[in-house]
Structure 1
Amino acid sequence: MKKIFYVLAISFFPLIGKAQYCNLHQYATLIYVNSNRETNETRFDTVAVSSVTRKGDNTWVEQSPSNPTAKKQKGFYDGNNTVKYVYQPNGVTNRILIDEKWGVETMRQLKEELDSYQNNATESNQDFNEQLADAERHKGAITIPLKADAVKGEKIPDGEYSLKAGYMKVSFKLSDGEYEGFEKVTVPAGTFDCLKVSYKIKANVLYLPQTQYITQWYAQGIGLVKEEIANKKKELTQTRLLVAADK
């Protein structure tokens, strides 16, 4: 047992001394309160660190909803609300907003919803899965590098993602991203020193365009602490605040 513990300690030793903008402890939980001004709804979501794995020198972290209510919610770009981070040896934590797995799972979900709405299958699941398996239909990714040495006013790289399967197509574009410096933020879970970022997401899902302006605050060792989402007119529509977290 001591030997196993020693190996694990050695494998994670490089992470010590370089704080990351996510929680690296598997099974740790984070609780958020979400308010939607458009629908006048408020809900609490419990999110668990479902996976922490090492791939080469990087640490991959996934956070998944652990309560049934959260699992039923449809995020704008998070699919089933699974949140992904990649922590690198240089101290940068990459928040992955959209990747290939996100696209495949979202397409399957959209097809299920359409089939249910039309009360019939638009095409066989086998044909649809074969189309999704075509890697050429997946283009790009959208990632936000969270950096402890970010300079206020520094630009966040643009990103694009698109996926097409049969008649179904989705596309996303991140632009106007910027590091807005560091702020002390108070939420129900407490007061945190946070890195603040903002960006614009333009989406086209099944040929229905949508634009959102997103501002987020991330704390070291935890991840997302606060989020504000505004519509195309830059009117605040949604907020997300951390209520409790395992450190």
Structure 2
Amino acid sequence: MVNYPPVDRQPAPEWYGRLHVQTADLGPARWFTEHTPGQGGFGTVAGIAAPGFAAYARVLHPAALDGQPVRWATVGAAHGQRVGPDAAWHELIGMDRSYHNAAEYGVPGVWDEHPAEGPTPPAVARALIPVLARHTRTSERCWYGLWNGYGRWDFDHVPAFQTPGREEVLLAGTLAEAVSPISLDEFAELPDLWWPQDRAWCLGGDVDLVSTYIGGSAALITELLAVPELEVHPVAADSGVY
């Protein structure tokens, strides 16, 4: 058996971009663990974006062609597939889950890059922020969860809160600062979880997903469905995640 050297991690930062890493009071995240048992289980929409909201949406992370975003619907049409709320990317393109059994990578002139796995991509986040801001009274006071297992930062001694399947470091900042971690460098992940102080909505992602999920009011979800820069589908709280 090969023994690989440990990965050198940088000390946990006090500021993640312009988001302040919380090292004392995790109270703002307590509501994630106070739900009725059985609600928001691992692998469900409510497990990613918190249970109890009136409506939920799935925001697809775009594929790309020559660095430009490509909608799943465009890719699906090229592969003879329809994209619905429960579409799985690997099934859409006729590959196994690890993307290893395709004779050809992409479709010339249609797509050449898979959707980004993990937290919300910055371009998607920028399109979401103004919509989310219109549906909270506290956009200047928001909370964020960053999975402590991404490996670059040593968060071992920073308090974490539990979500289904993950441990998250708590961050604080404004809604406009949600994309600020990219100021660190091009590899910095955005937070997995976002929610405002008034809990009017919750945005959730995960390292293994190619979608972002949002729970909120019916009005919020209706507005998200109409954003031209985004590819969004309504989903149920107990739907699976992809």
TM-score (norm 1): 0.25
Higher relative contact order (CA 8 A, sep 6+): 2
TM-score (norm 2): 0.26
Greater strand content? 1
Pick the structure with greater CA Rg. 1
